[in-house]
Chains A and B, each alone.
Chain A
Amino acid sequence: MRAVFLAAVAALALGGCTSQNLTIRRLPPETPAADNASAVKHAAELSAAATEASERARSRDASQAVTPLTAADAPSMYSYDPWERLNRYTYRFNAQFDEDIFLPVANEYRRLPSPIRSGVHNFFDNLSEPKSIVNFALQLRPVFGLHSLARFVINSTLGIGGLIDVAARLKLKSYFTGFSATLSKWGMHPGPYLVIPLLGPSTLRDGVGLLGDFGASYAINVADLYRGNKTWALGTLDAVDLRANTDFRYYASGSPFEYETIRFLYVHRELIEDEALHAKAPPKARDPGTPAGR
């Protein structure tokens, strides 16, 4: 697998040097009728969720109320990015890798019948439950931890090793968490923005979180999947599955400001997740001059 990977990187490097006048790529066909049907369903779910949320807010008693944030509590619009020059070159490398190798592979993968793809997707979701269980425990949130544990047991057995999400049919919704959220719970800020080669945008805390999560999965070693060469094969399939399910195209914006926009969205989304994790605590005092994430 390592040899294949190195060959792919070499092909990318060489491919980047060629330029053609015309390329025609066949994409997976669009399915507008089905897409619209699911949009109708999604809109109905959203409006039901909105109604439920407003009712829940009304019935919540005063002692549980969280202090609402005001505009003054918002972090700076500008993100902390001390490694910007390196990050920008990595972003460019990632964009080229995605265009030449990753996305074409994911597009071919998307031609497989959808039951196979959803089986693969469920399998990897199920494999990530153990690290959620560990992290919910570290965050002292036993209810969510038990929830994930129940999902993992049900799906690994009744769901044939995780291929079928039986738990979802039993109304056990999935909640994922990771080591980055645990670090946040322990008081760590996102830190510098970080573009990881091949993986994409991140922050220092999320990067450490990824390592921690892999370490936990490696230590738990479900069904001995995290040892030897099969780790590489499974890791690659996991990556392709995730790419095939991610509706993003590097530079579809055409904009030279894409790096800034992605950084803004990534860092501020992480900060909003942090706000939710610390909802019971009063809003943090912020210095408006400090870049977001620091």
Chain B
Amino acid sequence: MKWPLALLGLYGLLLTPAVASGAQPIAPAAASGPATGLADSAALRATVYGTPPQDIAPMPETVPLEEIDIALPWAKPVPEVFWFDRRLRVWFSAQNKPAPLAIVISGAGSDGNTSMLSTLRGALYGAGYHVLTMPSPTFPRFIVSASSTGVAGDLLQDSRDLYAAMRQIIAHFPHRVQITDIDVLGYSLGGANAAAVKSIDSVEGKLKIHRAVMINPPVSLFASIGRLDKLFAISIGSGDVGVERLYEKLYARIANVYRTSDQIGIGDSDLLAAATTVLKTDADFSATIALSFRISLVNVFFAGDLYAGTGVVVDPKHPPRVGDSLENIARVLRGKPFSEYFAKVFAPYYLAHRPNSTPESLMADNRLEIIGDALRDNSDYYAQANSDDPILTQPELAWLQSTLGNRIAVYDHGGHLGNLGDRRQISDMLDMLAGRWTPGP
């Protein structure tokens, strides 16, 4: 390591949702049978480690990639502190022949080029699709460049913004790109967005989206987030003090790894390996999951408070500027659960902008039930779920199964997204997109 910039590679590694994909030190403890309750050990480990590389589905040798930055006409004025998020950024891989287009939407708080999207892109491109990958509407850059509200988290409103952005992007594709059909899919919150986008399109008919596949979607977004906040409270404690305690513990453990080895300097992948070896107990894994979600929420909370002018952490009259420290704001927001975002930013904004709404109706609007009829009656919606997914309860999973009938694949293990990219998940997903999937024996 001879130059500071090289160290920055760390950042990408640490913020990758599967914190350590590929860095699994020793096989995680296996649990028998489907799990119940908040989450069992195997589910937590699968959620953190992601799919082991040896289980990943066959991938093509090369996938061409273009990065598209687009300014959207309905975007709100960009606050100075978000100067870098002016244009929406999406990624596109084009076949050199007429082909169907698969649009893939990222999970909560994530960009349109995560390692999970890269895996899905490889599989879809290999199966003959043009592939467009998009950020979640809860990703800061989307909020700034493509949201019509600036207050993220409403399933239908966010999906309308996504749908509008998709139309703009597709209209600007180079002429050489010939599209024969359009399908949408997404993982986690992106799965719910994908289904909502298809239901919006079935009314507006501008894109004529054919099929939608939801990978590990939440059924009730707010209830799932509530469970992640509970996980945070149990495994980390309340407020930023808990985060500091977690940091101190992990710092000492990582430092000890290096103090007892004869290693010189810390390479990116070495530190990553050290970081995974120091996660030991269920509480450690829970804390990792809860913290990675909380970091996404900090961004959503900050942007929402700034745009809605609700003044929780940002003074609406004196918004922060480029040279101003945001450390104190980050510190305060790390201690705040989603319920506070809902009560102080989200609900005040939407109650003012949506006539006849109540806090209860806002919550109900964010359940997948609002497109339940479409999911039940239209045979072009599919889902993949894991029975040990920590963001789903058993009744929620049962609702998905009864609603989708024989259009849902439920796997015993994987936690949340811990089997994304494995051979079975990918082959089922491709069959679903082609309309030829049937439940196995």
Contact = CB atoms under 8 A, between A and B. Distances in A.
Interface string B47-69: 00000111010111111111111
Interface in B159-197: 172, 174
Interface in A18-60: 19-36, 39-40, 42-43, 46-47, 49-50, 53, 56-57, 60
A260 B330 contact: yes
B94 to A, nearest CB: 10
Interface in B198-256: 243-245, 247-249, 251-252, 254-256
B354 interface: no
B84 A21 contact: no
Contacts of B1: 176
A287 interface: no
* Interface size band for B: 35 or more
Contacts of B62: 29-31
Nearest to A125: B2
A269 B2 contact: no
Contacts of B135: 254
Nearest to B269: A42
Interface in B89-142: 111, 113, 118-119, 121-122, 135, 139-142
B26 A50 contact: yes
Contacts of A60: 260
A24 B6 contact: no
Contact of A275 (B26, B68, B82, B259): B259
Contacts, number: 263
Interface string A203-230: 0001000100100000000000000000
Interface string A264-282: 0110110111011001000
A246 B118 contact: no
Nearest to B327: A260
Given A78-B327, A276-B263, A25 B67 contact: yes
B326 interface: yes
Nearest to B142: A254
B25 A50 contact: yes
B247 A95 contact: no
B323 A247 contact: no
A66 interface: yes
Closest 4 CB pairs of A and B: A32-B122, A32-B59, A39-B53, A254-B141
